[in-house]
Amino acid sequence: MKVQITIAAISAIMIASVVVAQRAPAAVAIGKPAPNFSAPAASGKTISLNDYKGKWVVMEWNNKDCPIVVRHYNSGSMQATQKWATEKGVVWLSVCSSAPGKQGHVDADGANEMLKAKGATVSQYLLDPQGEIGRMYGARTTPHMFVINPAGETVYMGAIDDSPNASAANTSKARNYVREALTLGMAGKPIEVATSQPYGCGVKY
């Protein structure tokens, strides 16, 4: 009986692996090289991740009309994190993977207008209307955050903080995982929370 169970379990694991592989093609994993991409930015430049080797990089999935994104921008907490990070030399890449006609989709002008209105200090705002970078990273919510170290490895992926709320009530008390990962990472310390379940609106592919 024990043997039968083991065989059943092993065959089931193989099936499960196939299912997982089909579902999560995202190449992003903690400690592994973050996949390179090349994409147009709202600045008019073409941006590649490889351009930033040697620097800390934050990626923030954005949909300006998602209520959870709105909460983080209306409270000023996202801009404060951007300012804090970019002043330390961190490269902040916001990415919009909303397809044309879907919530949060912007062209370059729309993105620049929004960034100005919100007082956002992102390094570049990447336009990904086909969702290529989004799918490459398995981005599933807005916001969905990734932190990449100077060696080009992903060291954090997940939620912006530990406060999956619809309203701003608890934002100030939240534990900001991106700040924490950057602070610990830059100090050469292990990153305590390297992953967390991202929360927010589904990315509008």
Contact residues for other proteins, defined by CB under 8 A: 4-5, 8-9, 11-13, 15-17, 19-20, 23-24, 26, 29, 65-68, 70-71, 102-103, 138, 140-141, 157-158, 164-167, 193-205
Q: Pick the closer one to other proteins by CB: 41 or 69.
A: 69
- Whole-number Å distance between alpha carbons of 125 and 60: 9
Question: Smallest distance from the beta carbon of 148 to other proteins, in angstroms?
Answer: 16
Residue 43 structure tokens: 């600045």
Residues 155 and 31 sit within 8 Å (Cβ to Cβ)? yes
Q: Is 28:157 a contact under the CB 8 Å cutoff?
A: yes
Nearer to other proteins by C-beta: 118 or 204? 204
Output 119 or 202, the one with its CB closest to other proteins: 202
Q: Least distance in Å: CB of 58 to other proteins? A: 17
> What is d(CA 52, CA 134) in angstroms, rounded to the nearest whole number?
19
- Closest CB to other proteins among residues 52, 137: 137
- Contact yes or no for 98/129 (Cβ under 8 A): yes
